[in-house]
Amino acid sequence: MRPWAGSRSRSCYRGSKRYLVDPALVAALLRVDERAVLRDGDLLGRLLDTFVVQQLRAEAPVCDSRPRIYHLRQDQGRHEVDIILELGMGRVIGVEVKATATPRHDDAKHLRWLRDELGDRFVAGVVLHTGPRVIEMDDKIVAAPICVLWS
């Protein structure tokens, strides 16, 4: 996934993020089973991130807005947004993926930063999580279960 260049910030990381087609392939290559993934929060988060990106890639071509998919990471990781969906006319949706059923206020800090940086270009921010509820977190930012991708 290519880095997003639409930020006013000059210190953005310009490298691409690499994803395998299927998170199950990653687990097989690493020779880990379900229990091993669940014990390692970092690995679980990376597999969930891969899963969400692949779902968005599959659905983007059929969306009316034809979003382009990017990531945003500033040098030193000061600000990082897992997924940037760029819609027409420079409008943006930011997505964070969290391996938690109970998202915290702090999980949206990079989305708040992006909203403040972009102003009216920021359409929405979503913290995707493993829990069952949609939670309003801030102005234009919600936390929602990953399953909202199919509803």
Of 14 and 47, which is predicted with more confidence? Answer: 47
User: Is residue 9 over pLDDT 50?
Assistant: no
Q: pTM value? A: 0.85
Listed by start position, the domains of the chain span 23-150
User: Which SS3 state, helix, strand or coil, does residue 123 take?
Assistant: strand
User: Is residue 5 over pLDDT 70?
Assistant: no
Find the mean pLDDT for residues 83-105. Answer: 94
pLDDT tens-digit map of 48-72: 998 999 999 888 888 888 899 998 8
Residue 11 tokens, joined: 């210190």
CA 8/CA 6 separation, integer angstroms: 7
**Cα 23 to the center of its chain, rounded Å:** 15
Find the mean pLDDT for residues 15-36. Answer: 78
Decide: 127 and 98 in contact? Cβ < 8 Å: yes
Q: Which fold has domain 23-150?
A: Trna Endonuclease; Chain: A, domain 1 (3.40.1350)
Look at 3-17, 52-66, 83-97, 112-126 and tell me which has the smallest mean pLDDT. Answer: 3-17
Long-range contacts of 18-25 (CB under 8 A, 24+ apart): 19/50, 19/53, 19/54, 20/50, 21/54, 22/50, 22/54, 23/47, 23/48, 23/50, 23/51, 23/54
User: Is residue 135 over pLDDT 60?
Assistant: yes
Residue 51 backbone phi and psi in degrees, to 5: -60, -50
Residue 54 tokens, joined: 């692949």
Task: Give the pLDDT band (50/70/90) at residue 11.
Answer: very low
Of 12 and 86, which is predicted with more confidence? Answer: 86
pLDDT of amino acid 134: 96
Alpha helix (H) ranges present in the chain?
Answer: 23-30, 34-39, 41-59, 109-118
Residue 114 backbone class (left: φ over 0; alpha: ψ -120 to 50; beta: rest): alpha
Dihedral (Cα; 128, 130, 132, 136), 10-degree rounding: -30
